[in-house]
Chains A and B, each alone.
Chain A
């Protein structure tokens, strides 16, 4: 794809997000679109957000479960950027009906770094050593693509289908928790809808952050001290609507809850 087309696609997705009007899959319209094109489109979309005053506060990793990777026919995760406008606090209402179009919630573990991590050559031990704390997190993903009809290029171009997120208010030292076996329980409107454990994301959430540090390292981009890194869902995605209430609890870490309006 040439520069102009990449810019056009990024602008289209940005407008789709603002106007809450989904677009046809890029992969249906541009059969030769590559994953690299898709990341460039996502950077254009991000550029528009920054121009409008949003600040980058971290990154998210997506496609971390085997089941989702198989569904999309890919063998690796993807990533997107988090901005301040996506972040909500524990106990706040999340205005999905104003901001999102086809939201789905997922429970995750968020990492806050105390040191920069610059790939390549980053190991799981480096990630643990650089992690200040981990927190429980709800990410509410959304797709700017009609009916979530996404292939890998569609979701990558769309900032890894990032929507909004809320962090729990308890931060835990990674030395205090076994991140691969910690259990997760997700409740919606008072019923338990799913359970999982850390290993559901690439064997461990630490592996996801390691992958991201090494992948970004190839482009000379570091994970920065203070950034929030959402490491990927440990449970199946759950469609949500205004009026729903959800909570997630993680063994040894804590809980987060969110009310959708």
Chain B
């Protein structure tokens, strides 16, 4: 981020935009990207909006259960026309148990992605966090599927708008088989996504910033810019290993992970 880490929006504009974005999420309707109306918006403004949405949810009694990275593949960044990854938070009601159903009608235009999740045993605090720190601080790794659902019309956004929209976070599922990090070849770890019994995507861990742990390091460093850390126990989804696949009501999916079992569920 070349620009200075400062605000161009006022506190009341940030609060209003947080309500604007969160309502679209809660009531499942589309909005246009907010930088159209606020071209002066900075990255700090965008993150402030996201953190205000987080505050609003916590104030309402929701728990924050983890973090996610988004736009972590070079292909995805190019596809979306953004320059770097972003992060978002996961609220308790985003979680759907393994084998469960995602309620299609609660979402706008959901897509699913095959991911991995890291669970930390030690705190990570940027700046300066590298892959080695992440491996040392990781308790275990487990499979995850993320459902992304940008609130922006036709998934058209820029990096600042998507950050303000909690990086398209919507729902997720985790389960399968946990594993110690030393037992996994994370770069070469393969995933196979099937929808309605047909293989639609395959990929390997290196699709995420070259190494899945690099994504966690980047998250720690980005959070560090705000003085925030990732405490021990944090659940972190690293970003998509496969391309995001659009789903329809009634679709059933299974994602198979090399050495980590499978996750399956459906959109009802």
Contacts and interface: CB of A to CB of B under 8 A. Distances in A.
B189 interface: yes
Nearest to A254: B188
Nearest to A253: B188
Interface in B182-199: 185, 187-192, 199
B95 interface: no
A183 interface: yes
B220 interface: no
A180 B187 CA distance: 17
Contacts of A61: none
B188 A183 contact: yes
Find the residue from B185, B188, B190 having the highest chain A CB count within 10 A: B190
Given A197-B190, A199-B192, A251-B185, A180 B256 contact: yes
Find the residue from B203, B204, B206, B258 having the highest chain A CB count within 10 A: B204
B127 interface: no
Contact of A195 (B185, B203, B259): B203
Chain B contact surface mostly? mixed
Nearest to B258: A181
B257 interface: yes
Contact of B258 (A66, A178, A249): A178
Contact of B188 (A66, A180, A199, A249): A249
Interface in A233-253: 234, 249-252
A249 B187 contact: yes
A240 B1 CA distance: 34
Interface residues of A, number: 21
B207 A181 contact: no
B23 interface: no
Interface string A40-63: 000000000000000000000000
B259 A196 contact: no
A227 to B, nearest CB: 26
Give the interface size bracket for B toward A.
Answer: 20 to 34
Contacts, number: 79
A107 B233 CA distance: 38
B188 A251 contact: yes
A234 B188 contact: no
Find the residue from A66, A178, A184, A196 having the highest chain B CB count within 10 A: A196
A185 B202 contact: no
A140 B117 CA distance: 36
A183 B190 contact: yes
B73 to A, nearest CB: 9
B241 interface: yes
B203 A196 contact: yes
Contact of A199 (B185, B199, B241): B199
B196 to A, nearest CB: 14
A252 B206 contact: no
B205 interface: yes
A261 interface: no
A250 to B, nearest CB: 6
Contacts of B185: 251-252
> Would you list the 3 A-B pairs with minimal beta carbon distance, nearest first?
A183-B190, A183-B204, A197-B190
Given A192-B207, A199-B202, A200-B199, 14 more contacts: A180-B256, A181-B192, A181-B256, A182-B190, A182-B258, A192-B206, A195-B207, A195-B241, A197-B202, A198-B192, A199-B192, A199-B256, A249-B187, A251-B185
5 contacts: A181-B192, A196-B203, A197-B203, A198-B192, A251-B190
Interface of B: 74, 185, 187-192, 199, 202-207, 210, 241, 256-259
